Amino acid sequence: MDIYEIRNALTSGRTIYDLPLRVTYYARVSTDKDEQLHSLSAQVSYYTDFIQRCPNWTFVEGYVDEGLSGTSVKKRERFLRMIEDAHEKKFDFIVTKEISRFSRNTLDSIRYTQELLQCGVGVFFQSDNINTLMPDAELRLTIMSSIAQDEVRKISERVKFGFKRAIENGVVLGSNRIWGYRKQDGKLVIDETEAEIVRLIFDLYANQYMGVRAIAHYLTDHGYKNSNGRGFSFSTVRGILSNPKYKGWYCGGKTSKIDYKLKNVKYFSPDEWIMYRDEGNVPPIVTEELWDKANRLLMRRSEKQSAKDKSCYQNQYPYSGKIICGIHKTPYYRSLYRYKSGNKEVWQCQEYVKNGKDGCKMPILYTSEIDDILRQSLEEVAKYKSEIVEELIRIYSSVDTKDKIEAEAAKCRAEMDAILQRKDRLLDLSISGNLSNAEFAVRNERFNAELKTLEDRLAELEKQRQDDQERVQYIRALKQVISRELDFSEGFTIGLVDALLDHMEVMGTEDKKVVHVTVYLKGMPEQQNYVVQRAKGKTSVCTRAYT
């Protein structure tokens, strides 16, 4: 029967149960909890029996979605399959419990019931007693759907209010899988097995200067697996490093859903998060000092990576961003040359990579040559420069340097206080009528400019203080390496290269078999010059060039 015939039959006194229809049902629960699944099972059993007991109806297998929200139908696989089958004329009538089971979104409810009617299929919302085959169904459906939709809005607001109160009371919300912890009664409890990996990540990053990607590779290479049994990813390691919970701080309010009907989420900046020390609910896995050190380094590296020229800071390989073209002052890129004897890793100017020989005529460097040069450079330092290292540490960590910065910072703060007092007096003069508005504006603007200059200088001093601390850390890392026997027979790790090598600069010569390389080690005042000599079929020879 088509819609016209069905409506004529219904208006002439017959009921829907009197008509020969192929009937199916739709059932859904919004969570996958046991009690909800039991409710779903009851719905399936009820509607199967309900349809089969009607002698004029032909039963068609129903459609069931488990544990999915009714706010939108986008992820309800069986619902969407039902719509497709309706287009293929597999049934004439759908029975469902109520509008909220079908959809809590008014637009979705109307849209899909109209689409079904165009296919010649009606829907019976049993609890709401709405049959879309009847002429007045759309008005009643709109009213009932709006009520259901408003109920979702109220639930959403109650949930958000509950989350807010929970955050205020220090209840730890969010994922139950926070690496290094397990959640218990709204608190975090340290999982020591996982916590050891967290401590290792912070140590590798903050103390051994290993990059995030390098740490992910290191953990994978050493057999560490994440909660899914796979290797650690870049995003997982970075997320661990930036999470304040690991230093014993509560952290919440990072996001907010803009509208309950939409998927859009507002992500707040860290200065808008709700954060405070809460070691009772969030026990620390690393010290606050180590966490802060790691995140200062993370911020500096992020600023470099977000800069316009990202080529200067890539750390996928140990020498990324460290080999510099002597002509163009741009980094060398890594590549593989394929020889009959096997592949060889080489480095070449990025201008050559882009434009071939027309872009740059600087020679390539083999990784084996770079390793040899760096090994000799560090051994040279180990033999003759240990006293210089001690002297540099003394200079950079001297009280005089710290006192000078602190004294200038104190002077800036005093000048700022004096300007603020003068601004207060200026305002008093303006209020009392002894100063015109125009004159007030001119003087006040001048004071603001002076304050801005002092604030900028304070920021510079703070950066200088942090740079000095970082310089000392680099030198101490160099001293730590020097104190051990230098072997490096298996090459250099990203962390080691990043900690010790500032960069190498490559220059060609008229002889294509001879390459000059200048080495700049971090914290060392003197550069080192090396000569690479190549002979066909022989290993390159790298020697120190003294001037």
Third-level CATH fold of 3-154: Rossmann fold (3.40.50)
pLDDT at res. 19: 93
Token couple for 355? 């434009």
CA 429/CA 431 separation, integer angstroms: 6
CA 163/CA 259 separation, integer angstroms: 16
pLDDT at res. 260: 44
Q: Count of CB atoms within 10 A of residue 309's CB?
A: 9
Per-residue pLDDT tens digits of the chain, which is 547 residues long: 778 888 888 888 899 999 999 999 998 876 544 455 557 788 888 999 999 999 999 999 999 887 655 444 556 788 899 999 999 999 999 999 887 667 656 567 778 888 888 898 999 988 878 888 887 776 666 665 566 556 556 655 565 555 455 545 555 545 556 888 887 776 788 889 889 999 999 988 888 777 788 888 888 888 888 877 888 888 889 889 988 888 888 776 666 555 444 455 666 676 666 677 777 778 889 998 899 888 888 887 776 655 544 444 455 677 888 899 999 998 998 888 887 777 888 999 988 888 888 889 899 999 989 988 988 887 776 665 555 556 555 544 554 466 788 888 889 889 989 998 888 888 888 888 888 888 888 888 998 899 999 988 888 888 887 777 666 666 666 555 544 434 455 556 665 676 678 889 999 998 989 999 999 987 677 889 999 999 887 888 889 887 6
CA 139/CA 3 separation, integer angstroms: 18
Q: Enumerate residues 6+ apart whose C-beta is below 8 A from 444.
A: 423, 426
* CATH architecture assigned to 181-306: Alpha-Beta Complex (3.90)
Element (DSSP H or E) covering residue 343: strand 342-349
Map out the domains of the chain as residue ranges.
Answer: 3-154, 181-306, 323-374+488-545, 390-471
pTM: 0.40
Cα 412 to chain centroid, rounded: 37
Reference 470, options 429, 522, 528, 432; nearest CA is 522
> Is the CB of residue 36 less than 8 Å from the CB of residue 42?
no
pLDDT at res. 465: 78
Classify 297 as helix, strand or coil. Answer: helix
pLDDT at res. 365: 92
Residue written as token pair 């180990």: 382
Phi-psi bin for 300: left (phi > 0), alpha (psi -120 to 50), beta? alpha
pLDDT at res. 526: 80
pLDDT at res. 201: 92
pLDDT at res. 160: 53
